[in-house]
Copies of this chain bind each other. A is one copy, B any other.
């Protein structure tokens, strides 16, 4: 119910704008599962790649989606974003993506996604990687217990759940 939105965790889903089909499918499944859990899905809002696919998955299961756009025009979000917010701050909005999420899940992506993982770790946000290639190396930048590597959306969801239980509440 709408009256309970504020008690729903926000799960940030990061990942590339230009990615392979498999990554799109992973993001789509992840979006579905996030909605099934009753969590809000937040991402960068653009009409491309992981941003579009994960939002589509969440909306197909009736979830709520939030997009933080780099542009000035909030109506440029992909059609699966419910709450589209415009920053006109380019990559500086990556910080907002991360701080506004209770847990960050990073799918495959490139330097933009890497910057989001780094900003999450810098700000002690729990991170789950799901197909992000350099994941093993990123361990050295984390505090114990705030970084997990998942190999399937199901596993990512389990890790998120664990974070929500252990770290946040």
Residues of chain A having any CB pair with chain B under 8 Å:
2-3, 5-6, 10, 40, 59, 62, 64, 66, 68, 72, 74, 79, 81-92, 94-96, 99-100, 102, 110-112, 114-115, 118-119, 121-123, 133-134, 137-138, 140-142
Contact = CB atoms under 8 A, between A and B. Distances in A.
Contacts of A6: 79, 81-84
Contacts of A100: 74, 84-87
A55 B154 CA distance: 36
A161 B86 CA distance: 21
A96 B91 contact: no
Given A115-B119, A134-B138, A141-B114, A83 B66 contact: yes
Contact of A85 (B68, B81, B86, B118): B68
A124 to B, nearest CB: 9
B90 A89 contact: yes
